[in-house]
Amino acid sequence: MDFLENNREQLIQRMEMATVKKIVDCLFARSVLSHEEKDSILCQKVRQDASRKLICSILEKGDKACGILVRSLEKIDFFLFKKLQGSHTDGQVRQQDVDYLAQDLTNLYRHKSFERFHPLGEEIDIIFDLKNTYTDILLWKKDIHNSRLAEMTLNDLLDELESPCIIEGEAGKGKTTLLKKIALLWANEDHPSLMRFKLVFFISLSGVEAGLYETICEQLLRKNYRICKEDFMEILELLEEKVLFLLDGYDEFKSQSCPEIEALIKESHRFKNTVIVTTRTESIRSLRLFGSLIAETGDLTVESAKTLVKNILEEATIAEGLLSQLESLDSTFQNSGTQLENLMRTPLFVIIACAIQMGESTFTPHTQTTLFSTLYNLLVGKNKHKTRETSDRHFRLSLIHCGNLALDGIFEQKFVFHSEDVPSKEKENVLLSIGLMHKYTAQRLKVAYTFFHKSFQEYIAGRRLSRLLRSHSDEEVTRGLSYLKRIKSFSAIITTHHSLLLYTCGSSSEATKKVISYLSTIHQGGSLFGLPSVCDLVPEELKKHEQIAAAEEEEGLVATRENSFVECAIRFLYESISETTVKEEFEEFFHDKKLYINTQSIPTYVSGFFDYFSNCVSMLEVIKLDFFGTSSATRTAWKSVIPEKAVSLFFNWNRKLRGLEITLKDFNQLEKGDVKYLEKICCSAASLRLIINKCPGLTGKLREVLNSCTNLQDLIVESTPLSIEDEQQITQMMVLKTIKVKDLQSENQHGGLLDAISILANVEKITFDNVKMNENTADKLAEGLKNLKKLNSLQLKELTNVGDGMISIVKSISYLQELEEIYLVNCCISATAVKILVQNICSLPKLSALDLSNNFLGNGGKEALCRLVESLNVLPKMKILMFPWVDEVSVCLVKLEELKKMPQLTKLGLKKWRTTNSEARILSSVLAKAPLADLQHLDMAETSLTSEGWLTILKALTHLKKLTFLDFSQEQGFTPSALLVLALARLINQLVSLQEIDLTGWQFDTHELQEINKAKESHRNELHVIVSSIKPLLDTTI
C-alpha cells in the first residue's frame, strides 16, 4: 500500500494503456476486481483516467489487493517498477523497448537461416536442421578440479543453471550447436527453465572486434538499431539475471577486443547477467576458476551416431555404407578398439564422414587427418572446374596462401580474416570457389573470411607446416622449424597447439620425425615443466626455478606432465603411421620414459603404439597399469574384471617390457579368469612392481598370480589379508627388492613371511606399517634381518605391541652395513633400545635418515636421548632426524648444537618435547647458529610454550628460506597474543617456499584469521593453513 500511495502520481502519469489493461486482466483473474469494476476502468478513453480509477479502486481494498497490483506491475512493466523503486532514474527505457528487442531476437532464432545451416560450408550439400537433425548429447558435470561428478542432459543443465556456466569440449563435440539449440528453445518457449529470461543473446566470440553493443548489433540485429547504446546497457543493468548470454568459442576470443564480454564472464558480480560460455578443452584452464557450473560435452553413443547419419543422409543407399560400419561397433563404444569408434564419438567427424560418403561410398575413416585430408581433396577435386580460367600456377599459389593464412592464424589466435589477408582477387576467387574458405559481408563492419570450423583451419595449418618441414628447399625447412620453435612449453604441446602438431604428423611421416625430435629438445631444455631454458637463467634465477621444480615433483605434477607428454608423442606417431615410417628413428625419444595406461579405456593410439612401434615400447622404463575391482562383495554372475583388451596388449608380445607397475584396488572377488589374465600381464616385463590395496578377493589367490612372476622386484600389500600360501609364495620371489605390508591385523602364521624373510637376500627395502606383531614375531623379524646384507631402508611403523622385541630388532641393525634409512615410528622403542641403537650407529656410514618419532622413552629416557644427540657428530650425511620424546629435555636442547655438523639436514622433528619459554631461547640459538639452510620440514608439535616463547622461536626461523612444512599444533587449546599473530603472519609472508603450516589447537578470533589469510594470499592459495577453532566455537580449515 505504501508503494502505491508514494508513487500514485507517477503511476497515473506514466502507465501505458496496454499496461493498465494487462494489470486489470490479472486482477480480474485473481478475483480482486469484479466485472463491473473491470468494465468501469477499461471504458475510460484517457489512459491517465483509467490509471487513476484503477489505483483508487485497489487502495480501497487494502494491503492484499495492493500487493497483487504491485507484483503484476513488476511482471508486466519491469522498467517502470524499477524506476519507481528508485533503482534507476536516468534514461528513457520503456518496457516496449524490451518487448521489441525480444521480438527481434525471437524472429532471428526462429528464422530458417538460424535454424538451418551448412556445417561444412555451402560447397558441401549438407544442411543441419536444429529441429530435425539435432541429437541430444551427453554432458558431464565437473568440479573446479576437473573431476567428473555426474552425467547431465541439456534439461538438467538448464534446470540447474548457475552463472557463469562453462561448457568445455574437444573440437567438433557440438558446443556451438548446443548453444544454438538453447536459443531456439527460448524463442519457441519450449523449455520452462528458459521462460525466466527476457532476452537471450547468441554471440560467436570468434568474430568479436568491437564492444558488446556493437557486436550484438552486427551479429544479431542491425546497424543503427532503434535502441541506442546507452539505453541498451541500461536494459542489461536493470534486467540483471533475466538476460542470458550464450557466448560461443572462448578459445577463439581476443579479450582485448571486447573487455565488456570478458567482464561478463569473469566479473559476474558486476554485470549480474546470466552467462553460458563454451570453450575447447585446451582453454578451460583460464576459465575454470570463475565457473559456478562446469559441464563437459561427452561422446556420442553409437545409437546417436546412427541417428545423426540417418538424419543427414536421408537416402538409404548413401547412408548404407557408413551405417554398416557403425553396426559393427558395440552400442556403448566400450569394447571396440577401431579408429572409426573414436571418430564417430564426435558430431563434427560424423558429419564429415557423411559428406565424404556422398562422394566416395567406399571410404573408411582411419584417422582424423585422413578424414580431413579426404574432405580437402574432395573439395579441391570437385570444384576445380569452377576456376578453369585460373592457371595451374596461380591455383597452386592460392592453396599455399590458404595454408599460410591458416598456419599464421593458429599462432596468432586468429580465426576471422579480412580483405588485407586476401589481397588478390584471383586468390579470393579460388579459395571461395573450391570451398576452402567462406566470405561474409552482411551485417558486418568489415568483410570477413573464415574456414568452416576451427578444426579444419588447424588441419590446413598442419598440412602446410608438414609441407614446409619436408620440403627440398632449405629456406622452407628453416621456416617450418621456426614455427616449431614458437611452441615453447609443455602446455602449448598438449593443449594450444596439440591439434596443429597432430595434423602435421598425420600429413607426413618425415615431418613426424622432425616434430618428435623437437619434442625431445623441449623435454631436455626443461620447458616440459613450464620453466625457461637453463641457458637463459642467471644463477639466482636458476636456483629459484630448481626450487619450483622440486616443489612440483613433491606434488606429483612432474609425473603427470611427463605422462601427458609421452601420450602426445604416441598419438602423433599413430596419426602418422605409413609404410614409409622408419620406426627405429623414434626409439631415442622413448628411452627411460614412463607411460600410464588407463585400463578402463585404452585409447586406440596406445594399442597402435604396441602394434606398430613395439621397438619404442620396449624403450620405456616402466608402464603403469591400474585395475579396479567392484565395490560389491557378491556378483550375480561371473564377469571378468580385468579388461581383455589390456591382456591382449601384453601377452604373447614379441618383445619384453623393461618395467611394469600394476596396481590392484578394491577387488572383493577375483575369479579364475581374472587370475589367469593377471598372470599373463605380469609375466610380460623384465621387472615387475605389484601394488595391492584393499583386495580381500585376492587372499589365497596371490600365490597363483605370483607363481609365474619370477620378475617381481617390488611388492606392496595394503589392507589385504594374506593366506599362509600367499606368504610362502612371496618368500620364493628371489629377485624381490622391496617389501611393504601395511594395515594387516591378522594373526602371524607359522612358516609365513616373517619366518622365512631371511631367504630374500636381495631385498633392499622393508616396510611394516600397522601390522599385528608381538614380541615373539618381532624376535623372528630381528633374526631374519641379520641375513639381509643389501638392506638399505628399514621402516617399522605403528607396531604398538612388540614390547622388548624392539631391542632385538635394534641389535640386528649392527649387521646391516648398507642401511641408509631407519624409521622406527610409534614402535614401543625403549631407552635401552635407543642406547643400543646409538652404539650401532657408528657402524652405519651411509645413514641419512633416522626417524624415532612418536616414541616415549620412559625410564632412563633422558640419558638415552642425550646420548643419541651426542652421537650425531658421526653422521654428517644425515638429512632426516626425528627424535623420540621424554619428560624433560633442557639438557638435550643444549646438546643440539651438534646439528651444526649436519649441513644437509632437511627434516627435523622435536614433537612432544614440551619446550618451555626458557628453553625456547636455547632452541632459538641452536636454530640460528646451526647451518640449516636446507631445512624444509620442522615439527615442533605439542610444546609448553606461551606467546613469549613462540615469539622467540619465530625470530629464529625467518632465515630458513627453504621451509615448506611447519607443525606447531597443540593438544590443549592455545590462545596466541596479538603480537604473536602478527609475527606469525610476517613469518608466513617471509617463507616463500612454505606449503603447509599446522596450527591445530591455536584459537584465533575472526580478526586474527583475517590477518593469517592476508599472509596466505601472498602464496597464491598454494599454502595450506590448518587451524582447529575460531574463538570460541567455530571449527574450520583455512
Q: Mean pLDDT over residues 468-475, rounded?
A: 93
The architecture (CATH level 2) of 906-1037 comes to: Alpha-Beta Horseshoe (3.80)
Mean pLDDT, rounded, for 197-222: 88
Kindly state the DSSP code that residue 494 receives in the 8-state scheme.
I
* Sequence-ordered alpha helix ranges (H) in 193-338: 212-219, 229-239, 259-266, 268-271, 285-288, 302-312, 316-327
On whether the CB atoms of residues 988 and 1015 are closer than 8 A, the answer is yes
Distance of CA 581 to the CA centre of its chain: 34
E-assigned strand segments in 705-857? 712-718, 738-744, 765-771, 793-797, 821-825, 849-851
- For the chain, give every domain's residue range: 1-85, 95-297, 302-360, 384-525, 591-730, 737-875, 906-1037
- Cα gap 204→261, rounded to integer Å: 11
Q: 959-994, pLDDT tens digit by residue?
A: 899 999 999 998 878 999 999 999 999 999 999 889
* Mean pLDDT, rounded, of the chain: 82
With a CB cutoff of 8 Å and minimum separation 6, the contacts of 67 are none
Interval 712-750: pLDDT, tens: 999 999 999 999 999 999 999 999 999 999 998 877 778
**1005 in Cβ contact with 976 (< 8 Å):** no
Percent of the chain at pLDDT > 70 equals: 86
Q: Regarding beta strands 438-440 and 243-248, do their DSSP bridges make them parallel or antiparallel, or are they unpaired?
A: unpaired
- Look at phi and psi of residue 691 and say left if phi exceeds 0, alpha if psi is from -120 to 50, else beta: beta
Percent of the chain past pLDDT 90, that is, above it, reads 29
Which of 103-112, 707-716, 784-793, 896-905 has the weakest average pLDDT?
896-905
The pLDDT of residue 539 is: 38
> Would the pLDDT of 301 be above 80?
no
Predicted pLDDT of residue 720: 92
- Split at pLDDT 50, 70, 90, the class of 407 is very high
Q: How far is 898 from 932, CA to CA, in rounded Å? A: 12
Q: What is the pLDDT of residues 898-945, one digit of tens each?
A: 788 788 889 999 999 888 998 899 899 888 887 888 899 999 999 989
d(CA 792, CA 796) in angstroms, rounded, equals: 13
The Cβ of residue 1031 has, within 10 Å, a number of other Cβ atoms equal to: 13
**Which residue, among 101, 93, 81, has the nearest Cα to 199 in the 3D structure?**
101
Q: Residue 153: how many CB atoms within 10 A of its CB?
A: 12
Q: What is the pLDDT of residue 44?
A: 84
Higher pLDDT, 224 or 241: 241
CATH architecture of 737-875: Alpha-Beta Horseshoe (3.80)
Beta-bridged to residue 449, according to DSSP, are 417, 439
Per-residue pLDDT at 542 exceeds 50: no
Q: 667-677, pLDDT tens digit by residue?
A: 888 788 888 88
- Which range scores top for mean pLDDT: 52-66, 701-715, 760-774? 760-774
User: Is residue 530 pLDDT above 80, yes or no?
Assistant: no
Q: Is the pLDDT of residue 751 over 90?
A: no
Q: Is the pLDDT of residue 452 over 50?
A: yes
Q: State how far the Cα of 705 lies from the Cα of 726, in Å rounded to an integer.
A: 10
CA distances from 988 to 329, 453, 545, 1016 (A): 58, 49, 20, 7
How open is the CA angle 619-620-623, to the nearest 5 degrees?
145
What class is the 591-730 domain? alpha beta
- The helix, strand and coil proportions of the chain, stated in percent and rounded to the nearest 5, come to 50, 15, 35
Segment of 31-40, 177-186, 423-432, 446-455 carrying the highest mean pLDDT: 177-186
The Cα–Cα gap between 634 and 668 comes to 8
pLDDT of 749: 77
Between 674 and 778, whose confidence is greater?
Answer: 778
Quote the DSSP letter at residue 493.
Answer: I
pLDDT at 7: 82
Backbone φ and ψ for 363, nearest 5 degrees, come out as -70, 135
What topology is assigned to 1-85 in CATH? Death Domain, Fas (1.10.533)
Are 157 and 139 in contact, with CB atoms under 8 Å apart? Answer: yes
More reliable by pLDDT, 19 or 480: 480
Residues 626-640 have pLDDT tens digits of: 888 765 444 444 455
Name the burial class of residue 645, with classes exposed (0-12), middle (13-18) and buried (19+) by CB atoms within 10 angstroms of its CB: middle
Partners of 881 in the β-ladder? 850, 908
- Over residues 1005-1020, mean pLDDT: 86
CA distances from residue 506 to 112, 462, 565, 878 in whole angstroms, order as listed: 38, 8, 18, 53
Architecture, CATH, for domain 302-360: Orthogonal Bundle (1.10)
The contacts of residue 636 (CB under 8 Å, 6+ apart) are none
* pLDDT at res. 556: 55
Looking at residue 1033, what is its pLDDT?
39
Taking CA atoms, 462 is separated from 169, 409, 623, 939, in Å, by: 21, 12, 30, 54
What is the mean pLDDT of the segment spanning 127-155? Answer: 79
Residue 504 has pLDDT above 80, yes or no: yes
Choose among 949, 886, 899: nearest CA to 929: 899
Report the pLDDT value the prediction gives residue 338, as an integer from 0 to 100: 47
Look at 237-241, 341-345, 852-856, 983-987 and tell me which has the smallest mean pLDDT.
Answer: 341-345
pLDDT at 335 over 60: no
Indicate the CATH number of 95-297 among 3.30.420.40, 3.40.190.170, 1.10.569.10, 3.40.50.300: 3.40.50.300
Interval 567-603: pLDDT, tens:
989 989 888 876 556 667 788 889 889 999 888 778 8
User: CA dist 651 to 72, 357, 595, 654, 690, Å?
Assistant: 74, 38, 18, 9, 17
Grid cell, residue 695, equals: 583386495
Nearby residues of 280 by Cβ (< 8 Å), 6 or more positions away: 168, 169, 170, 171, 251, 454
CA distance 51 to 42: 10
Instruction: Please give the pLDDT value at position 89.
Output: 45
Quickly tell me which residue has 537461416 as its cell: 113
- Span 871-899, pLDDT tens digits: 877 777 889 999 999 888 888 888 888 78
DSSP designation for 448: E
Residue 950 has pLDDT above 60, yes or no: yes
The CA distance from 251 to 284, in Å, is 8
